[in-house]
Amino acid sequence: MAGTPPPQIVRTRAELRAALSAAARPVGLVPTMGALHDGHISLIRRARAENATVVISIFVNPRQFNEAADFEKYPRDEAADVRLVGGAGADLVFAPTVEEIYPAGFQTTVRVGALTESLEGAARPGHFEGVTTVVAILLGLSGAERAYFGQKDAQQLLVVRRMAADLGIATEIVACPIVREPDGLALSSRNVLLSPEARAAAPVLHRALMAARAAYDAGERDGEALRAAMRATLAAEPLGTPEYVSCADPATLVELNRIGGPALLSMAVRFGRVRLIDNEPLP
């Protein structure tokens, strides 16, 4: 954006603390792994609207990857990210090295309980420990009054909220809606890794969620019937291999048999080596 000063980039814990010690409050933090897209930008704009200082962290966190190949091929483009972040009005970018976040001697893990054991947690052992450990560090370093997370990663949001409540972390955890492509595919940094054929097939996740939502809107309240509606839609797309489909209690993530209140529809589907997730809250 013309006239917008570029954000300051800091790379060490000490630089981040120093930059924020003089910053106007409240501080809003947007944790990301970079390869930024309009989903991230929506979080930054929300943070900009609600805070005096906006900090974005860009850190591809090795501890939350359960497959080395996924970590290595994860897209990275810091120069493009910094331009986007500046255009969205952020003040500060924290882009540390792995050694800065996990220096020699590091030996702390933050682990949330049952909420991390189903869905993404079951499919990706150790993933949420990596997430909660790095988010705890980022919240501690920044002392942010608010931190912004996407509903796209619905279980992550619940787990981070639980961690903040349990550990007495004062940061308000703010949830932001899912940003989608016009064909319904939820924006994700991993979408660029899809082959053209897989990219054309990938909106099937959203179609499956919409099929279950249509059944719900027509009065279906049987959880298994909604899971079956999602499975049936996914089965029509041979390029995608479903890992799980879920219709769960949105507070506990326990699978529902009967839906008597709110529910969370969610799924993970593999297209070759690229794994996509999506979800839809009910009602």
Binding site for ligand AMP (CB under 6 A): 32-33, 39-40, 42-43, 149-150, 152-153, 176, 178-179, 186-189
Query: Considering the complex, what minimum distance in angstroms separates the CB of residue 61 from ligand AMP?
Result: 8
Structural tokens at position 242? 């479903």
Residue type for position 212:
A
The nearer residue to ligand AMP, 42 or 256, going by C-beta atoms, is 42
Among this protein's residues, is 206 annotated catalytic?
no
Helix (H, G, I), strand (E, B) or coil at 122: helix
Query: Considering the complex, what minimum distance in angstroms separates the CB of residue 179 from ligand AMP?
Result: 4
Rounded Cα gap, residues 283 and 264, in angstroms: 9
The nearer residue to ligand AMP, 246 or 279, going by C-beta atoms, is 279
Query: Considering the complex, what minimum distance in angstroms separates the CB of residue 39 from ligand AMP?
Result: 2
The nearer residue to ligand AMP, 116 or 188, going by C-beta atoms, is 188
Query: Considering the complex, what minimum distance in angstroms separates the CB of residue 218 from ligand AMP?
Result: 27
The catalytically annotated residue of 37, 40, 127, 206 is: 40
The nearer residue to ligand AMP, 171 or 188, going by C-beta atoms, is 188
Query: Considering the complex, what minimum distance in angstroms separates the CB of residue 215 from ligand AMP?
Result: 24
Return all residues near 167 (Cβ < 8 A) that are at least 6 apart: 110, 136
Closest C-alpha to 108, from 130, 141, 138: 130
The nearer residue to ligand AMP, 127 or 213, going by C-beta atoms, is 127
**What order do you get walking across the sheet with 8-10 strand by strand?**
8-10, 92-94, 53-58, 27-32, 146-150, 172-176
Rounded Cα gap, residues 282 and 247, in angstroms: 9
Structural tokens at position 258? 């009967």
CB distance 278 to 271 below 8 Å: no
Residue number, nearest CB to ligand AMP: 150
How far are the Cα atoms of 33, 66, 124, 160, 241 from residue 128, in angstroms, in the given order?
A: 15, 10, 8, 9, 23
DSSP secondary structure of 5-67? PPPEEE-SHHHHHHHHHTSPSSEEEEEE-SS--HHHHHHHHHHHHH-SEEEEEE---GGG-SS
Positions annotated as catalytic residues are 40
